[in-house]
């Protein structure tokens, strides 16, 4: 122990008494603390640097992921906007089926004793896909109405809330036509 | 206090200083680890969110692809009328080409639903009286040449002369302002 304690002292004559026995632990502790401090400092320093590197990598990864997420959200918004626009077109077109084929079919369905006195097709302003039809036929009666309805059904229309009033020589028929897209 | 004791005191202070320094470094290392762990958690969460957004985008694209494809086909027809004047011009052209006898014509620009995608339309009220076949063919041509138009009212009666019909027509043509 003496050698350990005194090995870094230069040779000199003792001017005071030796260190008391209990105090000898202090220099020994100092050596141990110095070595341990060096080793632990190195270890903690390297750990700190490794954690800082990892943090930098993770920050870059976070930034990439957030950019990617933002791009995807932006594309989602674009698709949503496009879809909303497309739905607007679809909604308009749903209430814009051509009426000429209906008028032509009703005209074609007339038998030799029947004529159209008046035909009115009005779209419901709230639900344009629903068309209110009022038809007044001179002659023909119920049989003519059935023939006319068959022609309308052949165009993929359905009738709803139909009413028929028979006069002396004419028949009034009214119904709501709804296009039924079977394709 | 003799010299030995003073030296021991100094050593004790040095030991305390070294321990303090090491502890500070340990704390710094621990803080760096906590920060790195926190950023890693955030990065992993962000990656999961990005993956989720990718899945949602693909689902949305596949769900709406048919609708968007159909809209792309129709878009040129809607885009053709950016002003009520161009829509009116188009109707006048179709009337001229059809050579039907128009008793009256009235054009009006109307606001539909403000929140709807199609918020404005040109409304045309036409009264035509001509030969039955010619008039019906003209009506068909009108609906064919202006595919985006909506016939909102169509009243048909006998005309004043032999085979004529009297047709009252209300048309709506969507006016799609350029965005």
Same domain, A90 and A1: yes
Same domain, A54 and A133: no
* Among the ranges given (A15-24, A150-159, B72-81, B151-160), the one the predictor scored with the smallest mean pLDDT: A15-24
For residue B42, list chain A residues with Cβ-Cβ distance below 8 A. 58, 62
Q: Where are the beta strands (DSSP E) in B8-119?
A: 102-111
Q: Tell me the CATH number at A136.
A: 3.30.70.60
Same domain, A113 and A71: no
Same domain, A81 and A136: no
Q: What is the DSSP string of B113-134?
A: -TTSSS-EEEEEEEEEEEEHHH
Assess if residue A158 is contained within a domain: yes
- Could you say which of A59, A76, A94 is where a domain stops? A94
Model pLDDT for residues B56-77, shown as the tens digit of each residue: 999 999 999 999 999 999 999 9
Assess if residue A11 is contained within a domain: no
Same domain, A28 and A49: yes
**A103, B75: Cβ pair inside 8 Å?**
no
**What's the pLDDT at A62?**
96
Q: Is the pLDDT of residue A2 over 60?
A: no
Nearest CA in chain B to A79: B61
**What's the pLDDT at B103?**
93
Number of structural domains chain A divides into: 2
Q: What is the token pair recorded at A78?
A: 């674009």
Chain A interface test: which of B9, B11, B111 (most A C-beta within 10 Å): B11
Higher pLDDT, A172 or A3: A172
Same domain, A157 and A114: yes
Same domain, A86 and A129: no
Q: Is the pLDDT of residue B97 over 80?
A: yes
For residue B26, list chain A residues with Cβ-Cβ distance below 8 A. 40, 44
* Among the ranges given (A80-94, A109-123, B81-95, B104-118), the one the predictor scored with the smallest mean pLDDT: B104-118
**A86, B12: Cβ pair inside 8 Å?**
no
Distance CA B120, CA B176 (A): 7
Same domain, A105 and A87: no
Q: Is the pLDDT of residue A19 over 80?
A: no
- What does pTM read for this prediction? 0.75
Higher pLDDT, A8 or B84: B84
Model pLDDT for residues B130-152, shown as the tens digit of each residue: 999 999 999 999 999 999 999 99
Question: Which of the four pLDDT bands, split at 50, 70 and 90, describes residue B129?
Answer: very high
Question: Which of the four pLDDT bands, split at 50, 70 and 90, describes residue A55?
Answer: very high
Share of chain A above pLDDT 70, in %: 89
- The sign of the CA dihedral A67, A73, A77, A80 is positive
Model pLDDT for residues A114-169, shown as the tens digit of each residue: 889 999 999 998 899 999 999 999 987 788 899 999 999 999 999 988 899 988 88
Domain extent at residue A159: 100-179
**What's the pLDDT at B102?**
93
* Among the ranges given (A30-34, A166-170, B32-36), the one the predictor scored with the smallest mean pLDDT: A166-170
B window 140-179, beta carbon within 8 A of A: 140, 142-144, 148-158, 174
Same domain, A63 and A106: no
Assess if residue A74 is contained within a domain: yes
Assess if residue A30 is contained within a domain: yes
**What's the pLDDT at A143?**
86
DSSP-derived 3-state class of residue B165? strand
- Could you say which of A72, A94, A116 is where a domain stops? A94
Assess if residue A12 is contained within a domain: no
**What's the pLDDT at A140?**
77
Same domain, A85 and A1: yes
Same domain, A137 and A104: yes
**B18, A101: Cβ pair inside 8 Å?**
no
Distance CA A119, CA A110 (A): 13
Same domain, A1 and A76: yes
- Could you say which of A54, A76, A94 is where a domain stops? A94
Please give the mean pLDDT across all residues of chain A.
88
B window 101-140, beta carbon within 8 A of A: 116-118, 132, 136, 139-140
Distance CA B131, CA B161 (A): 9
* Among the ranges given (A4-13, B9-18, B82-91), the one the predictor scored with the smallest mean pLDDT: A4-13
């Amino acid at each position: 122990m003496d050698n350990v304690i005194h090995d870094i002292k230069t040779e000199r004559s003792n001017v005071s008494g030796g260190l008391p026995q209990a105090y000898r632990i202090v220099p020994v502790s100092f050596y141990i603390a110095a070595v341990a401090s060096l080793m632990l400092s190195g270890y903690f320093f390297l750990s700190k640097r490794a954690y800082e590197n990892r943090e930098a990598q993770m920050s870059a990864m976070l930034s990439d992921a957030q950019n990617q997420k933002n791009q995807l959200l932006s594309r989602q918004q674009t698709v949503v906007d496009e879809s909303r626009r497309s739905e607007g077109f679809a909604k308009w077109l749903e209430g814009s089926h051509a009426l000429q084929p209906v008028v032509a079919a009703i005209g074609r369905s007339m038998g030799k004793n029947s004529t159209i006195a008046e035909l009115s097709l009005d779209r419901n302003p709230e639900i344009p896909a629903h068309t209110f039809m009022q038809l007044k036929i001179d002659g023909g009666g119920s049989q003519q109405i059935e023939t006319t309805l068959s022609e309308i059904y052949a165009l993929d229309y359905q009738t709803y809330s139909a009413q028929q009033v028979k006069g002396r020589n004419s028949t009034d028929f009214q119904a709501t036509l709804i296009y039924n897209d079977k394709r | 206090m003799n010299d030995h004791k003073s030296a021991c005191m100094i050593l004790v202070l040095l030991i305390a200083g070294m321990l303090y320094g090491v502890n500070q470094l340990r704390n710094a290392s621990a803080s760096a680890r906590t920060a790195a762990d926190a950023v890693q958690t955030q990065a992993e969460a962000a990656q999961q969110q990005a993956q989720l957004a990718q899945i949602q985008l693909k689902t949305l694209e596949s769900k709406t692809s048919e609708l968007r494809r159909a809209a792309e086909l129709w878009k040129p027809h809607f885009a053709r009328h950016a002003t009520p004047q161009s829509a009116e011009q188009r109707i006048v052209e179709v009337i001229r080409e059809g050579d039907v006898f128009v008793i009256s014509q009235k054009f009006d620009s109307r606001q539909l639903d403000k929140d709807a995608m199609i918020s404005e339309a040109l409304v045309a009220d036409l009264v035509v009286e001509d030969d039955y076949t010619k008039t019906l063919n003209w009506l068909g041509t009108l609906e064919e040449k202006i595919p985006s138009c909506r016939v909102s009212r169509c009243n048909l009666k006998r005309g004043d002369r032999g085979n004529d019909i009297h047709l009252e027509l209300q048309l709506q043509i969507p006016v799609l302002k350029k965005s």
